[in-house]
Chains A and B, each alone.
Chain A
Amino acid sequence: MITLRKISSGARPTCSFGFLCLAVICLSGGSLLISPRAAAQEPPYFVTYSHALEEPGNLEVEMKGTTASPQNGNRFLSGTLELEYGATAWWTTEVYLTGQTTANDSTIFNGFRWENRFRPLLREHFINPVLYVEYENLNEADRSLLEITGHDGVADYIVPNAIERGQTERSLEMKLILSSNFRGWNFSENFISEKDLNESDPWEFGYALGVSRPLALAASARSCTFCRENFAAGLELYGGLGTTDSFGWKATSQYLGPTIGFTIPRGPTVTFSPNFGLNANSLEVIYRVAVSYEVQQVFGRFHRSQQ
Protein backbone atom coordinates (compact mmCIF):
# COMPACT_ATOMS: atom_id res chain seq x y z
CA MET A 1 0.00 0.00 0.00
CA ILE A 2 1.18 3.50 -0.75
CA THR A 3 1.30 5.78 2.25
CA LEU A 4 1.60 9.53 2.35
CA ARG A 5 3.75 11.53 4.70
CA LYS A 6 4.77 15.13 4.97
CA ILE A 7 8.32 16.24 4.44
CA SER A 8 9.80 18.51 7.02
CA SER A 9 10.30 21.49 4.74
CA GLY A 10 6.83 21.74 3.33
CA ALA A 11 3.25 20.71 3.65
CA ARG A 12 2.93 18.86 0.35
CA PRO A 13 2.33 15.13 0.56
CA THR A 14 5.00 12.83 -0.83
CA CYS A 15 5.06 9.13 -1.44
CA SER A 16 7.21 7.04 0.83
CA PHE A 17 7.50 4.39 -1.90
CA GLY A 18 8.66 6.81 -4.51
CA PHE A 19 9.55 4.34 -7.24
CA LEU A 20 6.21 2.61 -6.79
CA CYS A 21 4.41 5.93 -7.09
CA LEU A 22 6.17 6.68 -10.34
CA ALA A 23 5.33 3.24 -11.68
CA VAL A 24 1.67 3.85 -10.88
CA ILE A 25 1.81 7.17 -12.73
CA CYS A 26 3.43 5.44 -15.71
CA LEU A 27 0.82 2.70 -15.82
CA SER A 28 -1.98 5.23 -15.53
CA GLY A 29 -0.60 7.01 -18.56
CA GLY A 30 -0.40 3.73 -20.44
CA SER A 31 -3.96 2.76 -19.62
CA LEU A 32 -5.23 5.79 -21.53
CA LEU A 33 -4.22 4.18 -24.79
CA ILE A 34 -6.64 2.59 -27.16
CA SER A 35 -5.54 0.26 -29.94
CA PRO A 36 -2.02 1.59 -30.21
CA ARG A 37 0.11 1.27 -33.30
CA ALA A 38 3.84 1.38 -33.50
CA ALA A 39 5.81 4.50 -34.25
CA ALA A 40 8.19 2.64 -36.47
CA GLN A 41 11.09 3.86 -38.59
CA GLU A 42 11.96 6.93 -36.52
CA PRO A 43 15.54 7.14 -35.26
CA PRO A 44 15.89 5.78 -31.71
CA TYR A 45 17.17 9.02 -30.17
CA PHE A 46 16.49 10.30 -26.67
CA VAL A 47 18.04 13.77 -26.77
CA THR A 48 18.61 14.42 -30.46
CA TYR A 49 15.77 15.41 -32.76
CA SER A 50 15.63 14.44 -36.40
CA HIS A 51 13.34 15.98 -39.00
CA ALA A 52 10.78 13.21 -38.49
CA LEU A 53 7.52 14.85 -37.48
CA GLU A 54 4.36 13.17 -36.30
CA GLU A 55 2.02 12.19 -39.13
CA PRO A 56 -0.96 14.57 -39.28
CA GLY A 57 -3.83 13.43 -37.07
CA ASN A 58 -1.70 10.90 -35.15
CA LEU A 59 -1.07 11.05 -31.42
CA GLU A 60 2.08 9.48 -30.07
CA VAL A 61 2.12 8.72 -26.37
CA GLU A 62 5.53 8.06 -24.94
CA MET A 63 6.80 7.34 -21.46
CA LYS A 64 10.45 8.10 -20.95
CA GLY A 65 12.39 6.98 -17.90
CA THR A 66 15.81 8.26 -16.93
CA THR A 67 17.88 7.07 -14.01
CA ALA A 68 21.36 7.89 -12.75
CA SER A 69 23.28 7.87 -9.53
CA PRO A 70 25.31 11.02 -8.96
CA GLN A 71 28.49 10.78 -6.92
CA ASN A 72 27.83 11.89 -3.33
CA GLY A 73 24.11 11.93 -4.09
CA ASN A 74 21.09 9.67 -4.21
CA ARG A 75 19.95 7.71 -7.25
CA PHE A 76 17.06 9.37 -9.03
CA LEU A 77 14.46 8.13 -11.48
CA SER A 78 12.68 10.62 -13.69
CA GLY A 79 9.53 9.84 -15.65
CA THR A 80 8.26 11.97 -18.51
CA LEU A 81 4.96 11.48 -20.25
CA GLU A 82 4.98 12.89 -23.78
CA LEU A 83 1.90 13.55 -25.87
CA GLU A 84 2.92 14.34 -29.44
CA TYR A 85 0.33 15.33 -32.00
CA GLY A 86 0.76 15.87 -35.71
CA ALA A 87 -1.18 19.11 -36.28
CA THR A 88 -0.20 19.19 -39.96
CA ALA A 89 2.40 17.43 -42.05
CA TRP A 90 4.82 20.31 -41.33
CA TRP A 91 3.92 21.14 -37.71
CA THR A 92 4.08 18.88 -34.66
CA THR A 93 3.07 20.01 -31.19
CA GLU A 94 3.93 18.19 -28.00
CA VAL A 95 3.26 18.42 -24.26
CA TYR A 96 5.52 16.85 -21.64
CA LEU A 97 4.64 16.16 -18.01
CA THR A 98 7.60 15.35 -15.83
CA GLY A 99 8.10 13.96 -12.35
CA GLN A 100 10.93 12.35 -10.49
CA THR A 101 11.70 10.33 -7.44
CA THR A 102 14.96 10.37 -5.54
CA ALA A 103 16.03 7.57 -3.23
CA ASN A 104 16.03 8.59 0.45
CA ASP A 105 14.26 11.80 -0.54
CA SER A 106 10.83 12.22 -2.13
CA THR A 107 8.72 11.90 -5.26
CA ILE A 108 7.58 15.12 -6.87
CA PHE A 109 5.99 16.53 -9.96
CA ASN A 110 8.35 18.86 -11.81
CA GLY A 111 6.14 20.66 -14.29
CA PHE A 112 5.45 20.74 -17.99
CA ARG A 113 6.94 21.60 -21.34
CA TRP A 114 5.12 22.63 -24.49
CA GLU A 115 7.09 22.33 -27.69
CA ASN A 116 6.38 22.98 -31.34
CA ARG A 117 8.42 21.86 -34.33
CA PHE A 118 8.07 23.33 -37.79
CA ARG A 119 9.54 22.30 -41.11
CA PRO A 120 10.23 25.48 -43.11
CA LEU A 121 11.22 23.61 -46.28
CA LEU A 122 8.44 21.52 -47.68
CA ARG A 123 10.55 19.08 -49.70
CA GLU A 124 13.21 16.60 -48.72
CA HIS A 125 16.74 17.98 -49.11
CA PHE A 126 20.23 16.74 -48.37
CA ILE A 127 20.00 18.66 -45.07
CA ASN A 128 16.53 19.27 -43.68
CA PRO A 129 16.07 22.06 -41.14
CA VAL A 130 13.41 22.04 -38.46
CA LEU A 131 12.68 24.97 -36.14
CA TYR A 132 11.92 24.06 -32.56
CA VAL A 133 10.36 26.35 -29.94
CA GLU A 134 9.58 25.22 -26.43
CA TYR A 135 8.17 26.83 -23.30
CA GLU A 136 9.18 25.17 -20.05
CA ASN A 137 7.62 25.58 -16.63
CA LEU A 138 9.67 23.28 -14.43
CA ASN A 139 11.02 23.38 -10.96
CA GLU A 140 14.74 22.91 -10.53
CA ALA A 141 14.31 19.36 -9.26
CA ASP A 142 13.71 18.25 -12.85
CA ARG A 143 15.93 15.26 -13.64
CA SER A 144 14.59 14.33 -17.05
CA LEU A 145 17.83 15.40 -18.77
CA LEU A 146 16.02 15.82 -22.07
CA GLU A 147 18.67 18.32 -23.03
CA ILE A 148 21.93 19.54 -21.52
CA THR A 149 22.67 23.24 -21.79
CA GLY A 150 24.99 25.82 -20.28
CA HIS A 151 26.98 24.53 -17.34
CA ASP A 152 24.54 21.82 -16.27
CA GLY A 153 26.53 19.33 -14.26
CA VAL A 154 26.57 16.64 -11.63
CA ALA A 155 26.37 19.19 -8.78
CA ASP A 156 22.84 20.10 -9.92
CA TYR A 157 21.59 16.60 -9.20
CA ILE A 158 22.53 16.29 -5.53
CA VAL A 159 20.46 19.16 -4.13
CA PRO A 160 17.51 17.82 -2.06
CA ASN A 161 14.07 17.98 -3.66
CA ALA A 162 12.73 20.01 -0.75
CA ILE A 163 14.99 22.90 -1.74
CA GLU A 164 14.63 22.68 -5.50
CA ARG A 165 10.90 22.08 -5.76
CA GLY A 166 10.13 25.65 -4.74
CA GLN A 167 12.34 27.18 -7.41
CA THR A 168 10.38 27.25 -10.63
CA GLU A 169 12.11 28.11 -13.87
CA ARG A 170 10.09 29.42 -16.78
CA SER A 171 12.25 29.31 -19.83
CA LEU A 172 12.19 29.51 -23.57
CA GLU A 173 14.17 26.96 -25.49
CA MET A 174 14.91 27.08 -29.18
CA LYS A 175 16.66 24.57 -31.35
CA LEU A 176 17.86 24.44 -34.88
CA ILE A 177 17.50 20.85 -35.99
CA LEU A 178 19.38 19.70 -39.07
CA SER A 179 18.81 16.20 -40.27
CA SER A 180 19.68 14.06 -43.28
CA ASN A 181 18.64 10.63 -44.48
CA PHE A 182 21.14 8.86 -46.68
CA ARG A 183 20.95 5.22 -47.73
CA GLY A 184 19.08 4.21 -44.62
CA TRP A 185 21.28 6.22 -42.28
CA ASN A 186 20.03 9.25 -40.38
CA PHE A 187 22.41 12.02 -39.35
CA SER A 188 21.00 14.68 -37.04
CA GLU A 189 22.55 17.77 -35.51
CA ASN A 190 20.80 20.00 -32.96
CA PHE A 191 21.94 23.41 -31.79
CA ILE A 192 20.20 24.42 -28.58
CA SER A 193 19.73 27.80 -26.89
CA GLU A 194 17.79 28.37 -23.70
CA LYS A 195 16.80 31.49 -21.76
CA ASP A 196 15.37 31.71 -18.26
CA LEU A 197 12.46 34.14 -18.57
CA ASN A 198 12.37 34.96 -14.84
CA GLU A 199 15.87 36.17 -14.36
CA SER A 200 18.55 38.08 -16.17
CA ASP A 201 20.61 34.94 -16.58
CA PRO A 202 22.53 34.69 -19.85
CA TRP A 203 21.45 32.48 -22.73
CA GLU A 204 22.61 28.90 -22.33
CA PHE A 205 23.77 26.75 -25.21
CA GLY A 206 24.05 23.08 -25.95
CA TYR A 207 24.20 20.58 -28.77
CA ALA A 208 23.16 17.05 -29.62
CA LEU A 209 24.37 14.85 -32.45
CA GLY A 210 22.92 11.53 -33.50
CA VAL A 211 23.44 8.87 -36.12
CA SER A 212 21.26 5.81 -36.58
CA ARG A 213 20.18 3.13 -39.02
CA PRO A 214 17.59 0.35 -39.12
CA LEU A 215 19.22 -3.08 -39.00
CA ALA A 216 17.52 -4.00 -42.30
CA LEU A 217 16.47 -1.67 -45.09
CA ALA A 218 13.98 -3.97 -46.80
CA ALA A 219 11.00 -5.49 -45.02
CA SER A 220 10.58 -9.24 -44.92
CA ALA A 221 7.61 -10.85 -46.60
CA ARG A 222 6.43 -12.77 -43.57
CA SER A 223 5.03 -11.40 -40.34
CA CYS A 224 7.69 -11.63 -37.66
CA THR A 225 8.45 -10.03 -34.34
CA PHE A 226 12.22 -10.24 -34.20
CA CYS A 227 13.01 -9.41 -37.84
CA ARG A 228 15.99 -7.11 -38.26
CA GLU A 229 13.77 -4.46 -39.85
CA ASN A 230 12.07 -3.99 -36.46
CA PHE A 231 15.33 -2.88 -34.85
CA ALA A 232 17.26 0.36 -35.21
CA ALA A 233 20.59 1.21 -33.62
CA GLY A 234 22.46 4.44 -33.25
CA LEU A 235 24.79 6.66 -31.30
CA GLU A 236 24.20 9.97 -29.55
CA LEU A 237 26.65 12.63 -28.38
CA TYR A 238 25.38 15.66 -26.50
CA GLY A 239 26.34 18.23 -23.92
CA GLY A 240 26.50 21.86 -22.86
CA LEU A 241 28.30 24.66 -24.63
CA GLY A 242 28.34 27.24 -21.87
CA THR A 243 26.55 30.58 -21.89
CA THR A 244 26.78 33.94 -23.62
CA ASP A 245 29.14 34.97 -20.80
CA SER A 246 31.36 31.90 -21.01
CA PHE A 247 30.86 30.04 -24.25
CA GLY A 248 32.76 26.78 -24.73
CA TRP A 249 33.37 23.36 -23.26
CA LYS A 250 34.77 24.51 -19.90
CA ALA A 251 32.71 23.36 -16.87
CA THR A 252 30.12 21.64 -19.04
CA SER A 253 28.93 18.05 -19.00
CA GLN A 254 29.20 15.79 -22.03
CA TYR A 255 27.67 12.39 -22.78
CA LEU A 256 28.06 9.66 -25.38
CA GLY A 257 25.99 6.54 -25.70
CA PRO A 258 24.66 3.86 -28.01
CA THR A 259 20.93 3.56 -28.46
CA ILE A 260 18.74 0.75 -29.72
CA GLY A 261 15.06 0.74 -30.61
CA PHE A 262 12.76 -2.23 -31.10
CA THR A 263 9.34 -1.87 -32.68
CA ILE A 264 6.97 -4.67 -31.78
CA PRO A 265 4.79 -5.24 -34.86
CA ARG A 266 1.42 -3.55 -34.35
CA GLY A 267 2.55 -2.69 -30.82
CA PRO A 268 4.77 -0.27 -28.96
CA THR A 269 8.31 0.81 -29.68
CA VAL A 270 10.82 0.25 -26.89
CA THR A 271 14.07 2.20 -26.86
CA PHE A 272 17.04 1.84 -24.53
CA SER A 273 20.26 3.75 -24.16
CA PRO A 274 23.07 3.95 -21.63
CA ASN A 275 24.82 7.34 -21.81
CA PHE A 276 28.34 7.63 -20.46
CA GLY A 277 29.69 10.83 -18.96
CA LEU A 278 32.81 12.04 -20.73
CA ASN A 279 34.23 14.37 -18.09
CA ALA A 280 34.30 14.92 -14.34
CA ASN A 281 31.35 17.32 -14.47
CA SER A 282 29.09 14.63 -15.95
CA LEU A 283 27.09 11.86 -14.35
CA GLU A 284 28.94 8.56 -14.70
CA VAL A 285 26.15 6.69 -16.49
CA ILE A 286 22.60 7.66 -17.38
CA TYR A 287 20.25 4.84 -18.27
CA ARG A 288 17.31 5.78 -20.45
CA VAL A 289 14.34 3.73 -21.53
CA ALA A 290 11.26 4.76 -23.47
CA VAL A 291 8.04 3.08 -24.51
CA SER A 292 5.98 4.79 -27.19
CA TYR A 293 2.68 4.09 -28.86
CA GLU A 294 1.16 5.80 -31.81
CA VAL A 295 -2.59 6.17 -31.89
CA GLN A 296 -3.38 6.70 -35.55
CA GLN A 297 -5.93 9.31 -36.61
CA VAL A 298 -6.96 9.92 -33.03
CA PHE A 299 -9.81 12.33 -33.74
CA GLY A 300 -11.12 10.17 -36.58
CA ARG A 301 -11.26 7.35 -34.05
CA PHE A 302 -13.50 9.42 -31.74
CA HIS A 303 -15.61 10.49 -34.69
CA ARG A 304 -16.20 6.90 -35.79
CA SER A 305 -17.09 5.83 -32.24
CA GLN A 306 -19.87 8.42 -32.18
CA GLN A 307 -21.47 7.06 -35.31
Chain B
Amino acid sequence: MVALFALSVCVAANGSWLKHVPDADRRKVNPYAGQPDAIAAGAKMFADHCAQCHGPDARGHGKRPSLRSGRVQSATDGEIFWLLRNGNLTRGMPDWSFIPGPSRWQIIAYVKSLGARSNSNLAPAAVRNAPATLIQAEQR
Protein backbone atom coordinates (compact mmCIF):
# COMPACT_ATOMS: atom_id res chain seq x y z
CA MET B 1 0.00 0.00 0.00
CA VAL B 2 2.76 2.44 1.00
CA ALA B 3 4.79 1.53 -2.08
CA LEU B 4 1.74 2.02 -4.27
CA PHE B 5 1.10 5.41 -2.71
CA ALA B 6 4.73 6.47 -3.13
CA LEU B 7 4.62 5.40 -6.76
CA SER B 8 1.43 7.33 -7.40
CA VAL B 9 2.90 10.47 -5.85
CA CYS B 10 5.98 10.06 -7.99
CA VAL B 11 3.88 9.82 -11.12
CA ALA B 12 1.97 12.94 -10.03
CA ALA B 13 5.13 14.90 -10.55
CA ASN B 14 5.09 14.27 -14.28
CA GLY B 15 2.53 16.99 -14.91
CA SER B 16 0.11 14.71 -16.75
CA TRP B 17 -2.77 16.62 -15.13
CA LEU B 18 -2.02 19.62 -17.31
CA LYS B 19 -3.63 18.06 -20.35
CA HIS B 20 -6.95 17.72 -18.51
CA VAL B 21 -7.31 21.44 -17.79
CA PRO B 22 -10.12 22.97 -19.88
CA ASP B 23 -9.15 26.02 -21.92
CA ALA B 24 -11.53 28.28 -20.03
CA ASP B 25 -9.84 27.38 -16.75
CA ARG B 26 -6.39 27.67 -18.28
CA ARG B 27 -7.07 31.30 -19.20
CA LYS B 28 -8.26 32.41 -15.75
CA VAL B 29 -6.31 35.31 -14.33
CA ASN B 30 -5.19 35.53 -10.71
CA PRO B 31 -6.77 38.68 -9.26
CA TYR B 32 -4.04 38.77 -6.60
CA ALA B 33 -1.02 38.18 -8.82
CA GLY B 34 2.06 40.01 -7.57
CA GLN B 35 0.28 41.71 -4.66
CA PRO B 36 2.56 41.66 -1.60
CA ASP B 37 -0.28 41.24 0.92
CA ALA B 38 -1.76 38.39 -1.08
CA ILE B 39 1.65 36.72 -1.32
CA ALA B 40 2.06 36.98 2.45
CA ALA B 41 -1.42 35.56 3.00
CA GLY B 42 -0.64 32.82 0.52
CA ALA B 43 2.55 32.01 2.38
CA LYS B 44 0.51 31.52 5.52
CA MET B 45 -1.94 29.23 3.76
CA PHE B 46 0.93 27.37 2.10
CA ALA B 47 2.53 26.69 5.49
CA ASP B 48 -0.76 25.29 6.83
CA HIS B 49 -1.80 23.14 3.91
CA CYS B 50 0.94 22.57 1.35
CA ALA B 51 4.25 22.51 3.22
CA GLN B 52 3.50 19.09 4.73
CA CYS B 53 4.06 17.46 1.33
CA HIS B 54 5.94 20.00 -0.75
CA GLY B 55 8.26 21.09 2.06
CA PRO B 56 8.38 24.41 3.93
CA ASP B 57 10.56 25.84 1.18
CA ALA B 58 8.38 24.32 -1.61
CA ARG B 59 11.40 22.44 -2.97
CA GLY B 60 9.59 19.11 -2.72
CA HIS B 61 9.62 16.49 -0.04
CA GLY B 62 10.73 12.95 -0.74
CA LYS B 63 9.00 12.14 -4.00
CA ARG B 64 6.59 15.07 -3.79
CA PRO B 65 7.33 17.59 -6.53
CA SER B 66 9.08 20.92 -6.09
CA LEU B 67 6.84 23.89 -6.74
CA ARG B 68 9.84 25.93 -7.85
CA SER B 69 10.31 23.70 -10.86
CA GLY B 70 10.03 25.06 -14.37
CA ARG B 71 6.87 23.03 -14.98
CA VAL B 72 5.00 24.64 -12.10
CA GLN B 73 6.43 28.11 -12.58
CA SER B 74 5.57 28.06 -16.26
CA ALA B 75 2.03 26.75 -15.72
CA THR B 76 -0.62 29.44 -15.94
CA ASP B 77 -2.30 30.61 -12.75
CA GLY B 78 -5.54 29.18 -14.10
CA GLU B 79 -4.00 25.74 -14.54
CA ILE B 80 -2.75 25.67 -10.95
CA PHE B 81 -6.12 26.95 -9.74
CA TRP B 82 -7.79 24.07 -11.57
CA LEU B 83 -5.39 21.59 -9.94
CA LEU B 84 -6.09 22.96 -6.47
CA ARG B 85 -9.83 22.71 -7.06
CA ASN B 86 -9.80 19.19 -8.50
CA GLY B 87 -6.69 17.64 -7.09
CA ASN B 88 -5.16 14.62 -8.75
CA LEU B 89 -6.69 12.01 -6.48
CA THR B 90 -5.27 8.90 -8.07
CA ARG B 91 -1.79 10.44 -7.94
CA GLY B 92 -1.92 11.42 -4.27
CA MET B 93 -2.74 15.12 -4.65
CA PRO B 94 -5.90 15.92 -2.65
CA ASP B 95 -8.37 18.49 -3.89
CA TRP B 96 -8.50 21.78 -2.01
CA SER B 97 -11.96 22.89 -3.01
CA PHE B 98 -12.72 23.55 0.66
CA ILE B 99 -10.22 26.38 0.62
CA PRO B 100 -12.29 29.30 -0.68
CA GLY B 101 -11.41 30.57 -4.15
CA PRO B 102 -9.78 33.85 -3.03
CA SER B 103 -7.50 31.96 -0.63
CA ARG B 104 -6.51 29.54 -3.38
CA TRP B 105 -5.54 32.47 -5.60
CA GLN B 106 -3.43 33.81 -2.72
CA ILE B 107 -1.60 30.49 -2.48
CA ILE B 108 -0.91 30.64 -6.21
CA ALA B 109 0.37 34.21 -5.88
CA TYR B 110 2.80 32.94 -3.25
CA VAL B 111 3.90 29.89 -5.25
CA LYS B 112 4.50 32.03 -8.33
CA SER B 113 6.49 34.50 -6.24
CA LEU B 114 8.94 31.69 -5.44
CA GLY B 115 10.12 31.67 -9.03
CA ALA B 116 10.90 35.36 -8.77
CA ARG B 117 12.63 34.83 -5.43
CA SER B 118 14.86 32.20 -6.95
CA ASN B 119 16.15 35.07 -9.07
CA SER B 120 16.70 37.17 -5.93
CA ASN B 121 13.65 39.22 -6.76
CA LEU B 122 12.03 39.08 -3.34
CA ALA B 123 8.78 40.78 -2.51
CA PRO B 124 9.82 42.57 0.71
CA ALA B 125 6.38 42.96 2.31
CA ALA B 126 5.53 39.35 1.66
CA VAL B 127 8.75 38.12 3.17
CA ARG B 128 8.33 40.42 6.15
CA ASN B 129 4.90 38.99 6.89
CA ALA B 130 5.50 35.35 6.05
CA PRO B 131 5.58 32.82 8.91
CA ALA B 132 8.97 32.48 10.54
CA THR B 133 9.38 28.85 9.53
CA LEU B 134 8.96 29.79 5.90
CA ILE B 135 11.52 32.56 6.10
CA GLN B 136 13.99 30.23 7.78
CA ALA B 137 13.45 27.64 5.11
CA GLU B 138 13.99 30.25 2.41
CA GLN B 139 17.29 31.27 3.95
CA ARG B 140 18.68 27.74 4.24
Which A residues contact B (CB, under 8 angstroms)?
Answer: 37-38, 40-43, 50, 52-53, 55-58, 86-90, 119, 122-124, 181, 183-184, 186, 214, 217-223, 229, 265-266, 296-297, 299-300
Helix, strand, loop or mixed for chain B's interface?
helix
Residues of A within 8 A of B87 (CB): 89, 122, 124
Q: List 16 A-B contacts (CB under 8 A).
A: A40-B48, A55-B52, A57-B53, A88-B92, A89-B90, A89-B93, A124-B86, A124-B97, A181-B98, A186-B98, A218-B103, A218-B106, A219-B45, A221-B129, A297-B52, A300-B62
CB < 8 Å neighbour of B48 from A90, A266, A297: A266
Give CA–CA (A53, B131) in the complex, Å. 26
Q: Judging by beta carbons under 8 Å apart, are B89 and A88 in contact? A: yes
Helix, strand, loop or mixed for chain A's interface?
loop
Is B37 positioned at the interface, with any CB of A under 8 Å from its CB? Answer: yes
Give CA–CA (A40, B99) in the complex, Å. 9
Q: Judging by beta carbons under 8 Å apart, are B131 and A218 in contact? A: no
Q: Judging by beta carbons under 8 Å apart, are A52 and B38 in contact? A: no
Ranked nearest first, the 3 interchain pairs of A and B with the lowest CB-CB distance are A218-B102, A217-B100, A296-B52
Query: Beyond the given A181-B97, A217-B101, A221-B44, could you list 14 further A-B residue pairs with CB under 8 A, ordered by the A residue number?
Result: A41-B100, A87-B1, A89-B91, A89-B93, A119-B89, A124-B87, A186-B98, A218-B41, A218-B103, A219-B41, A219-B42, A220-B41, A221-B36, A223-B129
Given contacts A56-B5, A89-B94, A219-B44, contact A214 B100 (CB under 8 A): yes
Given contacts A40-B48, A56-B5, A123-B86, contact A183 B101 (CB under 8 A): yes
Shortest C-beta distance, A260 to chain B (Å), equals 17
Residue among B37, B98, B101 with most chain A CB within 10 A: B98
